[in-house]
Amino acid sequence: MPAYEQIKRYVIRRITEGDWKPGGLIPSETELVKEFGVARMTVSRALRELTSERVLTRVQGSGTFVAPQRYESTVLEIRNIADEIAARGHRHSARVLTLEPSDDPQALEALGLSSGPAFHSCIVHSEEGEPIQYEDRYVNPKVFPEYLQQDFTIETPNHYMVRLAPIQRAEFRIYAQKPDAYVRRHLSMEIGEPCLQLWRRTWVGDDAATSVQLWHPASRFHLAGNV
């Protein structure tokens, strides 16, 4: 593995393990040059790439910092439903339906795992008591080994994961779709009402961290943002 790649992974590891906190200063290029015994150009490339991946921010003259997590819009950034509801001045609540290991082959495939299990959670999020999102999530145990021990009525999976790991990339697809009966019941939807459905897969380094299906009642939800 190239030296610049090793340095990138080292930086990510220090962040995910909590040694370097969001907003905090990390060692300078010169210090990393000494630590790894490489040329400055090599360290520079590693840090520059992590900056373009929004893991770091750099300020000429002062230093390199761990990027603060930003929340802007649901589609573009990795936005948290609880924060969105709070931003509207409303009360968020969550009901955990499922939280267990799973060997679903499609999920393993989406996470790039050759063998199981993956972690699986199903949660209904409500705004002022009214269900607004059905979240069906698979999680890579390699990235979040303690996922199953969390209490997701207190902190959403999204918030938990953003807090622990620097998301570098996300793919998404958006559909308008009829929910199945199970989802429809949990979202208190009328028969025939469509869902706005969002599939999203996020990456930490080269690992697919999580693959999630989010179902929203069309009458009570839309996505918005700007570019």
How far apart are the C-alpha atoms of 210 and 168, rounded to whole Å? 12
Out of 16, 28, 69, 93, the residue judged to bind DNA by CB under 7 A? 28
Phi–psi pair at 85, nearest 5 degrees: -65, -40
Return the structure tokens found at 6: 């090793």
| Amino acid letter, residue 118 | A
Out of 9, 17, 23, 30, the residue judged to bind DNA by CB under 7 A? 30
Q: What does the binding site for a copy of itself look like in residue numbers (CB under 8 A)?
A: 41, 49, 52, 72, 75-77, 169-178, 192, 194-197, 216, 218, 222-227
Q: How far is the CB of 176 from DNA (least distance, A)?
A: 40
Examine residue 117 and say whether the peptide bond preceding it is cis (omega within 30 degrees of 0): yes
Q: Is 39 in the site for DNA (CB under 7 A)?
A: yes
Element (H, E) at 162: helix 157-164
Residue number, 70 or 91, with CB nearest to a copy of itself: 70
Out of 11, 12, 50, 64, the residue judged to bind DNA by CB under 7 A? 64
Out of 61, 89, 129, 192, the residue judged to bind DNA by CB under 7 A? 61
Question: Sign of torsion, CA 17 18 23 27?
Answer: negative
Residue number, 26 or 195, with CB nearest to a copy of itself: 195
Q: How far is the CB of 189 from a copy of itself (least distance, A)?
A: 11
Phi–psi pair at 223, nearest 5 degrees: -100, 145
Residue number, 66 or 195, with CB nearest to a copy of itself: 195
Residue number, 62 or 114, with CB nearest to DNA: 62
Q: Is 11 in the site for DNA (CB under 7 A)?
A: no
Q: Is 8 in the site for DNA (CB under 7 A)?
A: no
Question: Are the CB atoms for 139 and 123 separated by under 8 Å?
Answer: no
Which partner in a copy of itself, DNA, none is near 175 (CB below 5 to 8 A by kind)?
Answer: a copy of itself
| Amino acid letter, residue 60 | Q
How far apart are the C-alpha atoms of 4 and 192, rounded to whole Å? 53
C-alpha distances (whole Å) from 136 to each of 35, 97, 167 are 43, 10, 19
- The DSSP 8-state label assigned to residue 91 in this structure reads -
Positions that interact with DNA (CB under 7 A): 2-5, 28-31, 37-42, 44-45, 47-48, 51, 58-64
